């Protein structure tokens, strides 16, 4: 138990959950969930303890939806070891689930977002299911041999081959068959240990199931997502080794401990090396971009160079990102860079390409449409800006700021009637001081300030 706990804490796959500050939600939801599980395993439970258990479980749910996995794990543990309290736990689980949905949907109005720009999310269910063997293989391989660690993995399988489907399928099958054999061995040796083995097996299978793209995720695989399933896998290994060690001599047992310590030291060194990649964003993205081609990493690297005013490097990485997978984000970034270099034709080309792509969500897509419209309005001809805005409005007809930009482009072409109608539409869709002021300027035929920019936040 001590050895597998140390491996869990120092494993290189955990670096992403610790060093990536935006993803420390994994340790947090796990802390709440495992605390609830720990308190639920007492032989005698008072009403106060039940409140504590399900309060921690609710906190886990509110931190991350994966907290539901802890709820099912607790119910299974209760079924395996304390059947008499199962009905009460089911009722409490139902109660906190209702509270969770009330908080999320009723109070927070946080619904399920459509994932648009991620390649695997655009595939059909059947196409995503083809990835299952390779996804399982990735996590098992990286757990055992964590050599090539990288973030933002968005690869997809276009054609099934021996390397990306059949070989992973064979290895996955052998892995599960091996643990079925081990489970049978544990069952014969110790029935109570077998129940613990079943619990950890469920822990691993339930956790890995959520990563198989049955429900599309915003990446193909991610090391931080293995945070929960890793415990189940380590638990299975720990129970298996404990059963096997009962059959070996003391001398061989010391050899086993020596091997375990060596593994811990090697994993620790790999974690230290991986942590060094997280010194800053450019160091991280530059390292990971060399492992495999990734449009998101290239776009992020371009953003970092852009922030440092290194526009040549930013241009290089934005272009590579677009070559790999064009989407509204990298096309907008590339168009902006060309504007800085005063290459209006190239900027116009990439801004227009946004019209044929999508973004992570509708609000994000509308943002890029308005942004491109605004840039063209202030740096290109009114005719070009009006043409782009007209086409953008077919994509997002209820975006007030697009109508505002159309009003300005029409006004610059001396189309007073069309400009006033567009300004009125902008004012009705997005009523605020800025759209009201634009409408007033056009209706009174006054000059529109050159610095008037409409931009979604």
Three-state SS sequence of 390-451? HHHHHHCCCCHHHHHHHHHHHHHCCCHHHHHHHHHHHHHHCCCHHHHHHHHHHHCCCCCCCC
Most confident stretch, 194-208, 349-363, 370-384: 194-208
**C-alpha Rg value of the chain to the nearest Å:** 28
- For 205-210, what is the mean pLDDT? 96
pLDDT over 70 at 114, yes or no:
no
Which of these, 5, 234, 273, lies nearest to 147 by C-alpha position?
A: 273
Q: Are 151 and 298 in contact (CB under 8 A)?
A: no
pLDDT over 90 at 266, yes or no:
yes
Q: What is the per-residue pLDDT for 344?
A: 92
Q: How confident is the model at residue 386 (pLDDT cuts 50, 70, 90)?
A: very high
Q: How confident is the model at residue 255 (pLDDT cuts 50, 70, 90)?
A: confident
What are 331-364's pLDDT values in tens digits? 999 999 999 999 999 999 999 999 988 665 666 8
pLDDT over 80 at 424, yes or no:
yes
Q: What is the per-residue pLDDT for 363?
A: 67
- For 118-143, what is the mean pLDDT? 93
Q: What is the per-residue pLDDT for 224?
A: 94
Q: What is the per-residue pLDDT for 23?
A: 85
Most confident stretch, 43-47, 132-136, 240-244, 256-260: 132-136
Q: Are 355 and 395 in contact (CB under 8 A)?
A: yes
- For 43-47, what is the mean pLDDT? 90
Q: What is the per-residue pLDDT for 130?
A: 96
- For 84-91, what is the mean pLDDT? 94
Give CA–CA dist 153/142, Å, rounded. Answer: 13
pLDDT over 80 at 207, yes or no:
yes
Give CA–CA dist 295/154, Å, rounded. Answer: 8
Q: How confident is the model at residue 113 (pLDDT cuts 50, 70, 90)?
A: low
CA distances from 200 to 27, 110, 190, 253 (A): 19, 32, 15, 24
Q: Higher model confidence: residue 50 or residue 362?
A: 50
Q: What is the per-residue pLDDT for 449?
A: 86
- For 245-267, what is the mean pLDDT? 85
Strand-pair partners of 256 = none
% of the chain exceeding 70 in pLDDT: 97
Q: What is the per-residue pLDDT for 456?
A: 67
Place of tokens 């691993």: 204
Long-range CB contacts for residues 385-394, cutoff 8 Å, separation at least 24: 385/409, 386/410, 386/413, 388/351, 388/352, 388/355, 391/352, 391/355, 392/355
Q: State pTM to two decimals.
A: 0.86
% of the chain exceeding 90 in pLDDT: 77
- For 59-67, what is the mean pLDDT? 94
Structure tokens given for 151: 């973030």
pLDDT over 90 at 121, yes or no:
no
pLDDT over 80 at 289, yes or no:
yes
pLDDT over 70 at 141, yes or no:
yes
Supply the mean pLDDT for the chain: 92
Q: How confident is the model at residue 453 (pLDDT cuts 50, 70, 90)?
A: confident
């Amino acid at each position: 138990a001590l050895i597998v706990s140390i491996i869990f804490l120092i494993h290189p796959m955990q670096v992403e959950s610790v060093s990536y500050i935006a993803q420390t939600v994994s340790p947090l939801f796990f802390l709440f969930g495992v605390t609830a599980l720990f308190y639920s395993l007492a032989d005698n439970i008072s009403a106060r303890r039940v409140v504590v258990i399900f309060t921690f479980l609710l906190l886990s749910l509110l931190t991350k939806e994966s907290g539901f996995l802890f709820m099912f794990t607790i119910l299974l543990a209760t079924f395996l070891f304390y059947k008499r309290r199962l009905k009460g736990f089911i009722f409490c689980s139902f109660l906190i689930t209702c509270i969770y949905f009330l908080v999320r949907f009723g109070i927070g109005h946080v619904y399920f977002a459509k994932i648009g720009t991620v390649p695997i999310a655009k595939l059909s269910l059947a196409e995503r299911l083809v990835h299952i063997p390779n996804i399982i293989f990735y996590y098992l391989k990286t757990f055992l041999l964590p050599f090539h660690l990288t973030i933002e993995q968005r690869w997809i399988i276009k054609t099934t081959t021996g390397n990306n489907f059949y070989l992973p399928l064979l290895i996955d099958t052998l892995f599960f068959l091996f643990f079925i054999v081990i489970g049978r061995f544990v069952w014969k040796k110790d029935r109570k240990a077998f129940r613990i083995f079943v619990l950890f097996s469920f822990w691993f299978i339930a956790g890995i199931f959520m990563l198989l793209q049955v429900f599309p995720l915003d990446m193909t695989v991610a090391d931080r997502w293995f945070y929960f399933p890793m415990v189940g896998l380590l638990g299975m290994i720990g129970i298996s080794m404990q059963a096997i060690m009962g059959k070996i001599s003391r001398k061989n047992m010391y050899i086993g401990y020596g091997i375990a310590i060596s593994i811990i030291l090697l994993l620790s060194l790999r974690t230290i090396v991986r942590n060094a990649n997280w010194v800053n964003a450019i160091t991280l993205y530059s390292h990971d971009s060399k492992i495999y081609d990734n449009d998101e990493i290239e776009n992020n690297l371009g953003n970092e160079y852009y922030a440092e005013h290194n526009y040549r490097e930013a241009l290089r990485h934005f272009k590579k990102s677009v070559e790999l997978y064009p989407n509204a984000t990298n096309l907008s970034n590339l168009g902006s860079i060309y504007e800085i270099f005063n290459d209006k034709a190239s900027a116009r080309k990439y801004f227009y390409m946004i019209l044929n792509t999508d973004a992570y969500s509708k609000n994000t897509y509308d943002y890029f449409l308005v942004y491109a419209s605004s840039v063209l309005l202030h740096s290109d001809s009114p005719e070009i800006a009006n043409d782009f805005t007209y086409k953008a409005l077919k994509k997002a007809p209820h975006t007030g700021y697009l109508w505002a930009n159309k009003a300005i482009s029409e006004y610059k072409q001396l189309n007073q009637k069309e400009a006033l109608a567009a300004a009125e539409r902008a004012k009705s869709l997005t009523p605020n001081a800025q759209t009201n002021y634009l409408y007033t300027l056009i209706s009174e035929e006054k000059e529109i300030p050159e610095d008037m920019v409409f931009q979604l936040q």
